[in-house]
Structure 1
Amino acid sequence: MASNRAVAYKGPGEVEVIDIDYPSFELKDGPGVNPANVGRKVPHGAILRTVSTNICGSDQHMVRGRTTAPVDLVLGHEITGEVIEVGPGVEFIKVGDIVSVPFNISCGRCRNCKEGKTGICLNVNPDRPGSAYGYVDMGGWVGGQAEYVLVPYADWNLLKFPDRDQALEKIMDLTMLSDIFPTGFHGAVSAGVTVGSTVYIAGAGPVGLAAAAGAQLLGAAVVIVGDLNEERLAQARSFGCETINVGDGNLVDQLDQLLGVPEVDAAVDAVGFEARSQGGGAHAKEAPATVLNSLMLATGAGGAIGVPGLYVTGDPGAVDEASRVGSLSLSFGTGWAKSLSFTTGQCPVMKYNRRLMMAILHDKVHIAKAVNAKAITLEDAPRGYAEFDAGAATKYVLNPNGYLNA
């Protein structure tokens, strides 16, 4: 039996590369596995040798101790791999295929999946609609920051790349298809971005930068990215975005200086529940509703706000009791008075990933450059997590099996 090394959460601020079981076509008991999922047979699954697997800001929330994630939870929901074994129920996916894995696990059989709502599949997580690899309260499917990983419902979930050599040549771009590129693009689509739009994106982390690249792909006239981190703002400027340091003053005033009007057509929240107050600079205090409230002020009447940024129902490190259970002090009246619309929740990756793959393969977008992707070894994951948490303007891509060295 092959060995399997993986990145595990060991407590607030700590990850470690550990030995775990090689995957089998059955969901075993372990950290975070819902008891109702223990023993679940996966004849429709495929085992992948991981080609690349990325560190995500959503992982970082868990590693900071800001969720109820259990110790030894294997992390990683951004997975690209080579199929090395398929279950007896797999018909179309073949051994040797290079594939992208949508971070949200879906069955392809339930009402929501059939309606394209793959982020809220009804059959893969006994706790609630929606599931993901290596994530708290998402059913207990083992994470993909590992040498090998099991993917259920392989014929449905896996996006096969049409040409192996081409895929490996563009793998640093294609690895973004598992989550952040579709997620950022979904934020822009949800905000109604189209040709000629003015767009404001809160957050210059990888999802915010992916949203900016997505807005450009959709034809936006001006894409403005806001953050407190100057290094990340410089990364946004590197591919043609305007930027705002929200610590330098009122967002609406800064938009007015850039655009000549104090509002945008569309806005995206790529920050989520660990948002910090504007105007506080490097010492800004946490204020979980501040981004959403500022976007309601900054978005024109009748506009839309896409919210790919993560919000949770359990935050042990929250600033107050209400935020601890996901209750935020929103100025909902502002949103109502301006007839704004909001779209939240997991991105339905399969809605976008094939089209975005084609844009990558035909050089219409260079997403790895936009998010400053950097490959590191699996054993280097703790350093990657630490540097990302410290604010590095880098998207860390783990290379467990040496494919990225080829």
Structure 2
Amino acid sequence: MGGNRIVVYKEPGVVAVEDHDMPKLEVPADVASAMGMSREAPHAVILKCVSTNICGSDQHMVRGRTTAPPGQTLGHEITGEVVEKGSDVQFLQIGDIVTVPFNIACGRCRNCRAGDTGVCLNVNPGRAGSAYGYVDMGGWEGGQADFVMVPFADFNLLRFPDRDAALAKIRDLTMLSDIFPTGYHGAYTAGVTTGSTVYVAGAGPVGLAAAYSAQLLGAAVVIVGDLNAERLAQARSFGCETVDVGQDATLEDQVAQILDTNEVDCAVDAVGFEASGHGGAEERPAQVLNDIMTITRAAGRLGIPGLYVTGDPGASDPDAKEGTLKVRLGLGWAKSHSLTTGQCPVLKYNRGLMMSILHDKAHIADAVNATVIGLEDAPRGYQEFDRGAARKYVLDPHGMVPAA
């Protein structure tokens, strides 16, 4: 049948745009049978993808650093237009423009009722929590595509109040599906508030979003650390201080040059398990976690939106292959640190951040250097992003994203 282009992981370093069948109002067969739900999904909608972004989490899979199999569809950062809806969808209409939280959530389980939508109990037979187009997340088809199915639509989707206003700001609003809430979650759970000094590890899109969010939350100084000069320049473009962790000077010394003290109030890990040692040395997956415990004051808080996995076939040692890292937990314990990890529960934040965008209080697209390309150009976007481009690639399948 065909009719739906979709980005697919083929082998380490290689993605392709393939023609798949159009999505149906059905949940994956494995989810339905394991969770005791019907395959038919009257609670779902089909979206025409207005925009869909390449994420650093996708890049982990494409590098071969997860257990993703060849043929894994990709894409969990989705903004779309409702083009079909099930009979049980009550509050969304054909033609609505909506943002899709990357977390798939049922809205009915204990965790969803508590607001912990990142660890829904009913959408993934393998573990709590699910996402579109991601390994070990329940087999839901990815959204780097022309069309995608979204279940439990009334619960999951956030409708933009005005179609024209939404399309005019879509470069900002497309960030609501993941990196803006995720970066905000990292800063918020780290306790950033008025006058805080903040260290953000990593100047990729999530790190830049966390740094920008820290500014929104009132931080006095935001310091961003990375090895990539282009990405550090992007952080400086909206007022951050930066440190190059590839230098010989220690992180503590570089922070002290900025703050006159070698500690910050709070810190965010936006790097995750593919961290490198200082100076660009060999991979050290616990490097960032140990760094942020070292430079965060006693009784400080650490937000950890950076991805850590339970299966990493490309890791440098047997422990790291199963996500067992050499973290200095004793240091964090001695300093009474509080740590928050895991998927961002996007629904906690996306409405407020949407309002900030619509009323010109937030310009996240500029902060992360949003760069719009066609869906057919996704392989190039993945390659350039993997080489360290200081850009957030936004795929535009249908030519609906206005020029910057």
TM-score by length of 1: 0.97
**Contact between 1:180 and 1:206, CA under 8 Å: does it hold in 2?**
yes
Deviation digits for residues 358-402 of structure 1 (CA, Å, limit 9, x no counterpart): 000111110000000010000000000000000000000000011
CA spacing shift, 1:232–1:245, aligned 2, 3 Å:
same
Deviation digits for residues 13-52 of structure 1 (CA, Å, limit 9, x no counterpart): 00000011101011356xx989747972211000000000
- Distance in 2 (alpha carbons) for counterparts of 1:75 and 1:112: 26
Deviation digits for residues 251-283 of structure 1 (CA, Å, limit 9, x no counterpart): 1111111100000001000000000001x24xx
Aligned residue in 1 for 2:274: 274
- Distance in 2 (alpha carbons) for counterparts of 1:176 and 1:97: 18
**Contact between 1:34 and 1:126, CA under 8 Å: does it hold in 2?**
no
**Contact between 1:313 and 1:324, CA under 8 Å: does it hold in 2?**
yes
Aligned residue in 1 for 2:209: 210
The ranges of structure 1 where at least 4 consecutive aligned residues each deviate by more than 6 angstroms after the TM superposition are 32-35
**Contact between 1:34 and 1:140, CA under 8 Å: does it hold in 2?**
no
**Contact between 2:2 and 2:20, CA under 8 Å: does it hold in 1?**
no
CA spacing shift, 1:401–1:188, aligned 2, 3 Å:
same
Aligned residue in 2 for 1:57: 56
**Contact between 1:34 and 1:139, CA under 8 Å: does it hold in 2?**
no
**Contact between 1:28 and 1:39, CA under 8 Å: does it hold in 2?**
no
Q: In the alignment, is residue 398 of structure 1 matched against residue 380 of structure 2?
A: no
**Contact between 2:31 and 2:123, CA under 8 Å: does it hold in 1?**
no
- Distance in 2 (alpha carbons) for counterparts of 1:60 and 1:252: 30
Aligned residue in 2 for 1:324: 321
Equivalenced residues, count: 401
Aligned residue in 1 for 2:228: 229
Shift of 1:285: 1.1
Instruction: Name the aligned partner's letter for residue 262 of structure 1.
Output: N
CA spacing shift, 1:39–1:28, aligned 2, 3 Å:
farther
- Distance in 2 (alpha carbons) for counterparts of 1:128 and 1:274: 23
Aligned residue in 2 for 1:24: 24
- Distance in 2 (alpha carbons) for counterparts of 1:264 and 1:405: 40
Counterpart of 2:359 (choices 353, 357, 362) is 362
TM-score by length of 2: 0.97
**Contact between 1:255 and 1:262, CA under 8 Å: does it hold in 2?**
yes
- Structure 2: where are the runs of 5+ without partners? none
Q: In the alignment, is residue 112 of structure 1 matched against residue 128 of structure 2?
A: no
- Distance in 1 (alpha carbons) for counterparts of 2:114 and 2:27: 27
Q: In the alignment, is residue 162 of structure 1 matched against residue 161 of structure 2?
A: yes
Instruction: Name the aligned partner's letter for residue 251 of structure 2.
Output: L
Deviation digits for residues 155-197 of structure 1 (CA, Å, limit 9, x no counterpart): 0000000000000000000000000000000000010000000
Identity %: 69
Provide the aligned C-alpha RMSD in A.
1.4
Aligned residue in 2 for 1:333: 330
CA spacing shift, 1:298–1:356, aligned 2, 3 Å:
same
Classify the secondary structure of the residue corresponding to 1:50: strand
Deviation digits for residues 79-98 of structure 1 (CA, Å, limit 9, x no counterpart): 00000000011110111100
**Contact between 1:47 and 1:151, CA under 8 Å: does it hold in 2?**
yes
Classify the secondary structure of the residue corresponding to 2:308: coil
- Distance in 2 (alpha carbons) for counterparts of 1:39 and 1:396: 36
**Contact between 2:52 and 2:79, CA under 8 Å: does it hold in 1?**
yes
Q: In the alignment, is residue 345 of structure 1 matched against residue 336 of structure 2?
A: no
Classify the secondary structure of the residue corresponding to 1:53: strand
- Distance in 2 (alpha carbons) for counterparts of 1:39 and 1:378: 32
- Distance in 2 (alpha carbons) for counterparts of 1:69 and 1:35: 22
